[in-house]
Structure 1
Amino acid sequence: MECMSKCDGSQLDGHLLKLLLAVLETGSITAAAERLGVTQSAVSHLLDKLRAITDDPLFVKRGRGIVPTARAEALAQPARDMLHQMQLFAQGADFDPRAWQTELTIAANDFQRDLLLPALAARLRSAAPGVTLRIVPSGAPSAELLRSGACQLVISPRPPEGTDIVQKRLFEDQYRVFYDPAVRNAPTSEADYLAADHATVAYEARRGLDLDRQLDARGVHRRVVVRVPGFAALPAFVRGTSLLTTAPSLMGRTALAALAGVPVPVACPSLPMYLIWHMRYQQDAAHRWLREQIQAVVGPAMGMGG
């Protein structure tokens, strides 16, 4: 344990903590270097320094890749917590978005991503030019996604449960049925709708849309012939075919703009959308400002003016 007499926690800094998390989350020296915007040799050098401080190899080779040691995995959450505390320390009492230097990770699937986040990115470039926006898919989000610090915010119609998870409703949309008018007419009755073949979305292998679960509970069953992993993939399967797809109406402004859309001729549930975060960010000035920016883009995205 000779290192412990020479190396202690005082040598830790934000760069080393970000490095540890980047290698953990990407599972690759090369990918970590790309995320951090440095060379692979710089990552290797900093990793050697971190190994000396922790007196642990942290990552070991397995086949052509690397895997974390138990010590590296145990350090992940403390590293995220320390980085968050460093950000709070640097902010001081008066938060200035123009001086904010960070990478923000927001988890969102393609519907809410394309509807809201391009406008958010534009606001950040203007008001907080030191912020890098990273967007990852949320799937059906878990509380652990927020607890782990893998992202700072989730935008989803499915808030995970947890007493430490906070949510705020952003808007509510209605479902609409989309189709290619060059191939077929709009479905005008429940019989038309249920007689058609449908394309739909399944973010997980055995979990479809909440829409289908609620329709199935009423004994209304669509004949689904295509399942894709996100709404943005639907147009390629619907164009030039007689398929129907049922999606949030606001997608008529984004991915489904080239298709025709009409109200669904069966009773459908509404689709609420939530902004979701972990309790530890509740009083964080920077995070509060970020939440305000997201709420500010909701109205324009829904065609409600600026």
Structure 2
Amino acid sequence: MKPMNESDGSGLDARLLQLLLSVLETGSVTAAAQRLGVTQSAVSHGLDRLRAVTGDPLFVKAGRGIVATARAEALAAPARELLGALERFARLGNFDPAQWQTTFTIAANDFQRDLLLPALAARLRAQAPGVVLRVIPSAVPRLEMLRSDDCQLAISPRPPEGSDIVQKRLFEDQYRVFYDPAVREAPCTEADYLAASHATVVYEPRRSLEIDQVLAARGLKRHFTVMVPSFSALPAFLRGTPLLATVPGLLARHTLQGLASCPPPLACPGMPMYAIWHIRYQQDPAHRWLREQLNAVVGPALALENEASA
């Protein structure tokens, strides 16, 4: 039997993988040590072991800090996948939310984030206090985000297409037209609507919303004067101006609170919202439990919105 040594990878364990990811994510040995609750010398020693395994410096000095090498960046996704596999192995057939220790990453834009995730975080604090909820922007979710384990779950109206991707419909919202009532009145006709200047959210250049696709099919289009990267940027551009923004109606509860809104004066498709994950987590008891918690907060979130708009 071949003797075990660091260079063949037999010296790897979950702690070393967590250490690698912590230094990558914080960009600092000191910050990684604080996150992991160990000394800086322990992190440095762990990096030496990782360098012996990988044959790469992994992190090099840059000014007063450090930067990751290309090899270290490339190892991030496999490290997350290995840690996930170890977690699934450890809890196989014996999952207890109260004992779950992990960082669970959800990709969501500000609409979905603000509507659902604070309530989900509260449920995790009560039932799975060892789970750290990490939220990253999803933009238009990419297959690779889920395949490489950059996130374990995405929430979006636009699921990526892939035979290894699973999706579940959470709810459907309706578009509404938001405006500042101190400056203008609601657009009552399609002609009024199309004559106005509009603000919109753009995640991908040249990728239009469904409402614009409907208009384009009729040879019509809106006139945009403001394009922003998030819904939270819209209020500053709407207040005190005659601009219109056609966005999910549920935003009236938080992001666009205080602005007036009305239904679009033209036929407009609904906006379904989906939870999206990779098939490797389909039967995982912990991930299934967390998806159940997400689904459980949808109803109360929508009920609160209905009360606010009543």
TM > 0.5 fold call:
yes
Secondary structure in structure 1 of the residue aligned to 2:125: helix
Provide the rounded CA distance (Å) in 2 between the counterparts of 1:73 and 1:60: 13
Provide the rounded CA distance (Å) in 2 between the counterparts of 1:115 and 1:272: 14
Provide the rounded CA distance (Å) in 2 between the counterparts of 1:286 and 1:50: 29
Provide the rounded CA distance (Å) in 1 between the counterparts of 2:34 and 2:110: 22
Provide the rounded CA distance (Å) in 2 between the counterparts of 1:37 and 1:293: 27
Structure 1 135/40 Cα, relative in aligned 2: closer, same or farther at 3 Å? farther
Contact 1:200 1:224 in 2 (8 A): yes
Provide the rounded CA distance (Å) in 2 between the counterparts of 1:47 and 1:213: 52
1:153-201 Cα deviation digits (max 9, x unpaired): 0000110011100001111111000111111111111111111111110
Structure 1 148/130 Cα, relative in aligned 2: closer, same or farther at 3 Å? same
Contact 1:215 1:268 in 2 (8 A): no
Provide the rounded CA distance (Å) in 1 between the counterparts of 2:33 and 2:225: 39
Q: Which range moved further: 216-225 or 5-14?
A: 5-14
Structure 1 287/62 Cα, relative in aligned 2: closer, same or farther at 3 Å? same
Secondary structure in structure 2 of the residue aligned to 1:226: strand
Aligned to 1:83: 83
Contact 2:6 2:49 in 1 (8 A): no
Aligned to 2:27: 28
Q: Which range moved further: 82-91 or 282-291?
A: 82-91
> CA shift at 1:18, angstroms?
2.1
> CA shift at 1:254, angstroms?
1.8
1:30-51 Cα deviation digits (max 9, x unpaired): 6962893556655433222211
Provide the rounded CA distance (Å) in 1 between the counterparts of 2:68 and 2:94: 41
Normalised by the size of structure 2, how large is the TM-score? Answer: 0.88
Provide the rounded CA distance (Å) in 2 between the counterparts of 1:37 and 1:244: 48
1:288 aligns with 2:281: no
The unaligned stretches of length 5 or more in structure 2 are none
Aligned to 1:268: 268
Provide the rounded CA distance (Å) in 2 between the counterparts of 1:237 and 1:197: 12
The unaligned stretches of length 5 or more in structure 1 are none
> CA shift at 1:207, angstroms?
2.9
> CA shift at 1:295, angstroms?
0.6
Aligned to 1:68: 69
Contact 2:19 2:36 in 1 (8 A): no
Normalised by the size of structure 1, how large is the TM-score? Answer: 0.89
Provide the rounded CA distance (Å) in 2 between the counterparts of 1:216 and 1:35: 54
Structure 1 73/183 Cα, relative in aligned 2: closer, same or farther at 3 Å? closer
Q: Which range moved further: 226-235 or 208-217?
A: 208-217
Aligned amino acid, residue 36 of structure 1:
R
Provide the rounded CA distance (Å) in 2 between the counterparts of 1:53 and 1:204: 40
Written as runs of structure 1 = structure 2, the 5 A alignment for 1:211-226 is: 211-226=211-226
Structure 1 252/35 Cα, relative in aligned 2: closer, same or farther at 3 Å? farther
Aligned amino acid, residue 137 of structure 1:
P
Secondary structure in structure 1 of the residue aligned to 2:226: strand
Q: Which range moved further: 216-225 or 182-191?
A: 216-225
Q: Which range moved further: 27-36 or 145-154?
A: 27-36
Q: Which range moved further: 54-63 or 232-241?
A: 54-63
> CA shift at 1:14, angstroms?
1.5
Aligned amino acid, residue 223 of structure 2:
R
Written as runs of structure 1 = structure 2, the 5 A alignment for 1:206-285 is: 206-285=206-285
Written as runs of structure 1 = structure 2, the 5 A alignment for 1:98-177 is: 98-177=98-177
Aligned to 1:45: 45
> CA shift at 1:19, angstroms?
2.6
1:38-89 Cα deviation digits (max 9, x unpaired): 566554332222112333222345677524244x355344322221121012
Provide the rounded CA distance (Å) in 1 between the counterparts of 2:172 and 2:147: 26
Secondary structure in structure 1 of the residue aligned to 2:205: coil
Provide the rounded CA distance (Å) in 1 between the counterparts of 2:15 and 2:119: 30
Secondary structure in structure 1 of the residue aligned to 2:277: strand
> CA shift at 1:232, angstroms?
1.2
Aligned amino acid, residue 56 of structure 1:
D
